[in-house]
Amino acid sequence: MSWETVIGLEIHAQLATRSKIFSGASTAFGAEPNTQVSVVDLGLPGALPVVNGEAVRMAVAFALATGAEIGLHSAFARKNYFYPDLPKGYQISQMSYPIVGSGEIEVPLGDGRTKRVGLTRAHLEEDAGKSVHDAWPGATGIDLNRAGTPLLEIVSEPDMRSASEAVAYARHVHALVRWIGICDGNMQEGSFRCDANVSVRERGSNTLGTRTEIKNLNSFRFLERAVDFEVERQIDLLESGGAVVQETRLYDPERDETRAMRSKEEANDYRYFPDPDLPPLRIDESFVASVRERLPELPAVRRARLIEAHGLTDEEATALTRERAFAEYVETMLETPGVSGRAAANWVLGELFAQLNREGTAIGNAPLGPARLAALVARVEDGTVSNRTAKDVFETLWNDPSSSADDVIEREGLRQISDGSELEGMIDEVLAAHPAQVADYRAGKEKLLGFFVGQLMKASGGKANPGELNRLLRERLGRG
């Protein structure tokens, strides 16, 4: 039997606000336990939530960036359950009226094809605290620093058909929320995590199979492996005459397997109801307009421009729009006259990315900024230096932030010789010194061209413009 995999994702993106969604406490990661808590986060008697306008702005920015519906009238609801790291005994979330409604996201699959994934909704909610189970024997510690951190839960339709599509979608959303600056995307710190709803069905069937939900996947690799494992587990179950049980599962990366956490029967009745502490959230058009105004140009727009106006390949443009900082770097380079799109893309994707990788530096912290790199690329393009020489200049520019390409070229005498008469003089000398080889060449041993080029490069101290040299040399040898 042939099976089809059906996947929907719930992505929890932590919004990059400075303070929590319903209190003024800081959201900074990594502080001493329970030091970033206000009376609201602690759920103390009498404390009341007040919504953080910045979180609302970020949710609206997400809607604008994806073209999804904006819930102009949204409402908060309480999701009631008891857990020690949930201080109030309920989580404030959105239920019937989310701030972001339905939409559709076009996900590049990395091979030139794209996949449309439906967006069901995205809603605001607060994160819970953390239970620390391993610090004390026989006791659990509670750290409420994370309690009240704003989350945007982005819910997709069950539109993905493989683990790799799910990963492509998650990566795309990850890039997008970082691009528009609403989430730092740090998966290790839990700023971006996914729950995957996975089911399988007979190929050709229109009904959905029973799904399981795999919770809290905090890397793309785990997402891929967890889904793959789960799909296989479900198919095995069904093929051996069993049935999939609707349940929540956890992925264990150590063992590379998913394990049941709780079944539907054990699931809580969350008793959602409108939170009476928070009036319905009304967003007007002028607020939306102000968010739109602050929204950066979106990756798709930049990608199209890099291809159409600057001649980049689809692959290059996709790579350069994976992060806003990449695109901004390249586009800043393109402001320097004499820098072509292709050259800029080559330098950024090649030399710059390699160097960033080697040094473990983020592009924003690179000691070589786009204007200085562009000045070097311009000198390659106008023939002042060779590509080979330029790589050495790149090193110097990287290591000495006060240096400029022109200064380094001048100081170190790296300017290549492109002048025809100068090169011709050198050619004459070299040919005169090697008459036997000239004769052999003319007799048909054309591979001797490399020999002459080598001799000439040596004679010029490596500064001869190789293109020009080749042309003149062929011309001279051909003339007899």
Partner 1 sequence: MSAALHEMTLAMQARALAGGACSAVELAEHHLARVERLNGTLNALLAVGADEALAAARDADARLAGKGEAPGPLTGVPIVHKDIFCTSALPTTCGSRMLDGYVSPFEATVVKRLREAGTVLLGKANMDEFAMGSSNENSFFGPVANPWDTSCVPGGSSGGSAAAVAARLVPAATGTDTGGSIRQPAAFCGLTGLKPTYGRVSRHGMIAFASSLDQGGPLARTAEDCAHLLRAMAGFDPHDATSSTREVPDYAAHLELPLAGLRIGVPREFFAEGLDTTVGDAVHAALGELERGGATLVDVSLPHQRHGIAAYYIVAPAEASSNLSRFDGVRFGYRCDDPADMEDLYERSRTEGFGPEVKRRILIGTYALSAGYYDAYYRKAMQVRRLISDDFARAFTEVDVIAGPTTPTPAFAHGAMDDPIAMYLNDLYTVSASLCGLPAMSLPCGFAGALPVGLQLIGQPFDEGRLLGVAHRLQASSDWHERVPEAFERASDTERQGEERARS
Contacting partner 1 within 196-235 (CB under 8 A): none
- Find the binder of partner 1 among 1, 32, 82, 450 (CB under 8 A): 82
Nearest to 159 by CA among 195, 202, 107: 107
Q: How far is the CB of 86 from partner 1 (least distance, A)?
A: 9
> Could you tell me the CA-to-CA distances from 480 to 434, 439, 446, 470 in Å, in that order?
14, 9, 13, 16
Q: How far is the CB of 121 from partner 1 (least distance, A)?
A: 20
Contacting partner 1 within 354-393 (CB under 8 A): none
State whether residue 470 is helix, strand or coil: helix
Q: How far is the CB of 213 from partner 1 (least distance, A)?
A: 18
Q: Which stretch binds partner 1 (CB under 8 A): 88-96, 119-127, 372-380, 398-406?
A: 88-96
Q: How far is the CB of 353 from partner 1 (least distance, A)?
A: 47
Determine if 78 is a binding residue for partner 1 (CB under 8 A).
yes
Q: How far apart are CA 296 and CA 75, in angstroms?
A: 27
Q: How far is the CB of 357 from partner 1 (least distance, A)?
A: 46
Q: In terms of CB distance, is 40 or 231 closer to partner 1?
A: 40
Query: In the numeric block, which tokens belong to residue 444?
Result: 């048909």
CA 118 to chain centre: 20
Contacting partner 1 within 122-151 (CB under 8 A): 140, 142
Q: How far is the CB of 108 from partner 1 (least distance, A)?
A: 41
Contacting partner 1 within 245-304 (CB under 8 A): 269, 271-273, 276-279
User: With CB under 8 A, what is the number of residues at the site for partner 1?
Assistant: 29
> Could you tell me the CA-to-CA distances from 476 to 239, 249, 428 in Å, in that order?
76, 75, 9
Q: In terms of CB distance, is 77 or 163 closer to partner 1?
A: 77
Q: How far is the CB of 401 from partner 1 (least distance, A)?
A: 46
Q: Could you give the dihedral angle defined by the CA atoms of residues 150, 151, 152 and 156, in that order, rounded to the nearest 10 degrees?
A: -170
- Find the binder of partner 1 among 26, 29, 47, 186 (CB under 8 A): 47
- Find the binder of partner 1 among 11, 25, 42, 352 (CB under 8 A): 42
Contacts of 122 (CB under 8 A, 6+ apart): 59, 62, 63, 68, 98, 99, 100, 152, 153, 154, 155
Q: How far apart are CA 46 and CA 100, in angstroms?
A: 31
Q: In terms of CB distance, is 77 or 431 closer to partner 1?
A: 77
Nearest to 161 by CA among 318, 322, 2: 2
- Find the binder of partner 1 among 87, 185, 209, 299 (CB under 8 A): 87
- Phi and psi angles of residue 400, each rounded to the nearest 5 degrees, phi first: -125, 90
Q: Which stretch binds partner 1 (CB under 8 A): 85-93, 119-127, 386-394, 414-422?
A: 85-93
Nearest to 54 by CA among 87, 27, 90: 27
Q: How far is the CB of 37 from partner 1 (least distance, A)?
A: 10
Q: How far apart are CA 425 and CA 419, in angstroms?
A: 10
Q: In terms of CB distance, is 149 or 396 closer to partner 1?
A: 149
- For tokens 């710190």, name the residue: 189
- Phi and psi angles of residue 423, each rounded to the nearest 5 degrees, phi first: -65, -40
Q: How far is the CB of 273 from partner 1 (least distance, A)?
A: 5
Determine if 33 is a binding residue for partner 1 (CB under 8 A).
no
CB 406 within 8 A of CB 395: no
Cα angle, residue 283 at apex, residues 281 and 289 outer, rounded to 5°: 155
Q: How far is the CB of 50 from partner 1 (least distance, A)?
A: 5
Q: How far apart are CA 407 and CA 384, in angstroms?
A: 13
- Find the binder of partner 1 among 33, 43, 190, 369 (CB under 8 A): 43
Q: In terms of CB distance, is 83 or 428 closer to partner 1?
A: 83
Q: Residues 78-83: contacts with CB within 8 Å, 24+ apart?
A: 78/271, 78/272, 78/273, 78/274, 78/275, 79/270, 79/272, 80/268, 80/270, 80/271, 80/272, 81/268, 81/270, 83/128, 83/131
Nearest to 65 by CA among 278, 411, 324, 262: 324
Q: How far is the CB of 116 from partner 1 (least distance, A)?
A: 34
- Find the binder of partner 1 among 28, 31, 44, 301 (CB under 8 A): 44
- Find the binder of partner 1 among 50, 243, 300, 371 (CB under 8 A): 50
Q: What is the rounded radius of gyration, in angstroms, for the C-alpha atoms of the chain?
A: 30
Q: How far is the CB of 82 from partner 1 (least distance, A)?
A: 6
Q: Which stretch binds partner 1 (CB under 8 A): 8-16, 84-92, 247-255, 401-409?
A: 84-92
Q: Which stretch binds partner 1 (CB under 8 A): 39-47, 226-234, 252-260, 351-359?
A: 39-47
Q: Which stretch binds partner 1 (CB under 8 A): 36-44, 182-190, 232-240, 244-252?
A: 36-44
- Find the binder of partner 1 among 88, 172, 178, 225 (CB under 8 A): 88
| Interacting residues toward partner 1 by CB under 8 A | 39, 42-51, 78, 80, 82, 84, 87-90, 140, 142, 269, 271-273, 276-279
